[in-house]
Amino acid sequence: MKAATQEKAKTISLPVEGMTCASCVLRVEKALKEVEGVQDAAVNLASEKARITYDPSIASVQALRKAVEDKGYTLVVPDESPGAGKERPGGTPDTVSASKGEAFKKLRSDTILSAALALPIMVLSMVSMTDWYMRQAPLSMETTNRILFLLTSVVMFVPGRRFFKSLWTNVRHRTADMNTLVAVGTGAAYLYSTLVVLFPEVLGSFGNAHEVYFDTAATIITLILFGKLMEASAKRRASDAIRKLLALQPNVARVLRDGIETEIPIADVAVGDVILVRPGERIPVDGVITRGFSVIDESMMTGESLPVEKKAGERVVGGTVNLNGSMEFRTTAIGKDSVLARIISLVEDAQGSKAPVQGLADKIASVFVPAVIAIAAITFVLWYTVGGLPFTPALINFIAVLIIACPCALGLATPTAIMVGTGVGARMGILIRDAESLERTREVRTVVFDKTGTLTMGKPEVTGVIPLNGTTASHLLTMAASAERLSEHPLARAIVRSAERDGIQLEEAGAFQSITGLGVAADIHGTPVLVGNLPFMKEYAIRSGPEVEAEVMRAAARGETSVVVAIDGTVAGVIAMGDTLRPTSPEAIRALQAMGLETVLLTGDNETAAKVIAAGAGIDTVIAGVLPEQKAGHIKALQSRGKIVAMVGDGINDAPALAQADIGIAIGTGTDVAMETAGITLMNGDLSGVARAFRLSGRTLRTIKQNLFWAFIYNVIGIPLAALGMLNPMLAAFAMAFSSVSVVSNSLRLKRLGG
């Protein structure tokens, strides 16, 4: 395999048809990884999807499909012809959903037909063994067996056809899976019984010609189909999160073009279009309000139940609900670039990823089916040759071993819990990038917080304008705001907002330069203006003086941040700003500390200001005065002491630290860069989501371990019991059918966390 470079790599998620157990998953993964140009492939049995990272210049989608088909499975590739199969926001073609729906209906109808036939087969088989039937029945035993043969043949080759079709495919590809076990087991019972009825002379001395096992074959097929139906239904509930997210986007949008209001399909909306939304309607796409005021329900996006007020200039997100007030907004993102599409993509990726804890199950699954077939064969030979059992009881033990073994439970143990856990997280406003992030979160012992925009509201406001050296407060604020108007830093925005509230007309700034972590420099009508901290002034050889330093210290003692303003080489004054704690920050910190986690504040602010904020939040450890590029180094230093570290941040300057941490947790109200770097994103900016993410991780990992335990113990106990002749094949079929259902049902208990 030729590895794709990170720059060229493309990741796609495609449905896979024909998988039934963990063995199938491993074969599909191996086939994909053997394609030249494929960097990685992860296949999920619960979602029935393959997530493939490959180099498009080396590998093609058609090559991927052929590799999977060569192993007997189908990789569903969307139709790329013009106008074919428009995709939903998350990139899942509607045709795939329709195909899954049809498959579910077919499974349901097969199960009903099989049950309708298996019931009379079972009753007739039981009644025919009674003395009354032997003496008074109008039908001879030969006729009775022929009726059982006809009814069972329908069960085997109509609803049960799927198992034998899969067996034939496996034989052609020299592989084996769960369907192989079912087909061989039921096929052996059916074939033996058919020979008894139609060709008794073929069996010779193998047994009594009246001993038929049509009821065993038909009941096993029915029970396993019923189990698969329940499993499919449970898996549909496990993937509710994706379906609910897909349902959020309306099919049409009301667009204002050339002054005319037109209703068009959502796929025809373009960036820049003006969209009209009336009260009670769902917002179709992302945008910025240009006219109107309303209250928006963003609960499906953020997990926050309280509606949010929105006015002109503020962002709205597609999929949220406009509760009251008509408004117009200009479209800023559509399709895969929208917030809804990115959320769906993140959830799908997480649900399709593989947790490290799955490794042991994968190793066992790789040899499971061949090992079970070998054990069944040995069981038959030993009972027949050494144990002295007649042919038919030895055959029954052979069938029981095949039927009791369940590789499905092993394959579903981890992915179903991941699907439900990440789905619950999405409903709570917690987006988890992948299963590894979910598992790794459980191991974290130290949580490091950025200050501005993370612990605090991130919108500092001007609390004091102190003019010096003969400058007026109005002139000081005018020059500072004019210099800062091109900066995106929160302190800069606070200064600009303060000037605008005072009705100050800002000037055009030239030669603008921003020095990260220090300040900005600009020319205002030829006059050089510097706005920044004391080290920034020293960089430009501006003498601050004791009065300036005293004002800076006084602001710091109040927990406020201040900037020094120099005009034409002379300090003109100091502007103080304060940033308040998020209301949920102290409670969130207490919740984490109650879990035994260490909390640390890591900030670029001076130590005095940082300690004021830390005291309010309840954080004991403070690392202050850290430049953005130094944050990752401090995370690394904590890791070097053996700590498993989570970093919580929101800004571009937090991205390196988020990447360095064992788990990065981004505040979703922050920047896209932070969200792309982090393993977990809190969509509503509420820090209590950090504690919820840790609890969700713990519960999900506990559920996975429970699932794996029951999947392993089921096979460890069941297979020996069957081999020892202590398990009836029909009871084994019942147990096999419900083993997978129990694993999925246990995973569904995680939904209680979501309320």
Residues labelled as active-site residues: 450
The residues, any chain, with a CB within 8 Å of residue 460's CB and separated by 6 or more, are 452, 490, 491, 494, 561, 577, 578, 579
Work out the end-to-end distance of the chain between its first and last CA atoms, rounded to an integer number of angstroms.
Answer: 46
Smallest Cα–Cα separation from 540: which of 507, 508, 515, 510? 515
d(CA 557, CA 119): 82
d(CA 126, CA 100): 38
Is residue 39 classed as helix, strand or coil in its secondary structure? strand
Count CB neighbours of 388 within 10 A: 8
Q: Tokens at residue 540, please?
A: 């430009």
For residue 148, give Cα distances in angstroms to 145, 411, 561: 5, 35, 87
d(CA 480, CA 573): 10
CA–CA–CA angle 433, 636, 629 (5° rounding): 85
For residue 583, give Cα distances in angstroms to 307, 310, 560, 627: 17, 20, 18, 27
Count CB neighbours of 511 within 10 A: 11
Run of H or E including 403: helix 391-404
The residues, any chain, with a CB within 8 Å of residue 82's CB and separated by 6 or more, are none
d(CA 49, CA 15): 4
d(CA 318, CA 327): 14
Is residue 412 classed as helix, strand or coil in its secondary structure? helix
Tell me which amino acid residue 146 is: R
Long-range contacts of 54-63 (CB under 8 A, 24+ apart): 54/4, 54/9, 54/10, 54/12, 55/2, 55/4, 55/5, 55/8, 55/9, 55/10, 56/8, 56/10, 57/8, 58/2, 58/4, 59/4, 59/35, 61/12, 61/14, 63/35, 63/37
Q: Tokens at residue 236, please?
A: 């549909």
Structure-derived torsion over alpha carbons of residues 689, 694, 695, 701, reported in degrees to the nearest 10? 140
Smallest Cα–Cα separation from 178: which of 565, 617, 715, 680? 715
